[in-house]
Amino acid sequence: MVNSSAVHRLRLVSGPEGVSFVLLLICSVLKRTTSFDAVPVMGMVHGILFILYVVFWIQAWQVRKWDAKRGVLLFVLAVVPTGGFIAERMLGKEERGEPAPATA
């Protein structure tokens, strides 16, 4: 089914993207406080995962026809540290067909 595969791909990349973002932040701190410099490597890994997230986000938005609020929220979660983990949970619920929580 095309709908579930688009959301599934986005869900699969959201967790690793969140982990890579946190690791990049840690590497940035270590670079400035020690002689350890893994920022170039972690930056490349995070950059690739972020690009994949954006590509899969666009595909899922087009296929699922999300409203603007949900689409923008899922993008904002990609640029917030640990947001990838929240996105992964939201997408997992959507994949399972659980209803979205009511907003006030």
Please, what sign has the CA dihedral across residues 24, 45, 82, 77?
positive
Q: Cα(104)–Cα(101) distance, rounded to whole angstroms?
A: 10
**pTM for this entry:** 0.84
The model's pLDDT over 39-96, given as tens digits with 9 standing for 90+, comes to 999 999 999 999 999 999 999 999 989 999 999 999 999 899 889 899 999 998 888 8
Q: Cα(88)–Cα(95) distance, rounded to whole angstroms?
A: 10
H or E element: which one contains 79?
none
pLDDT band at 100 (very low <50, low <70, confident <90, very high): low
The CA-atom distances, in angstroms, between 19 and each of 25, 65, 73, 78 are 10, 28, 19, 11
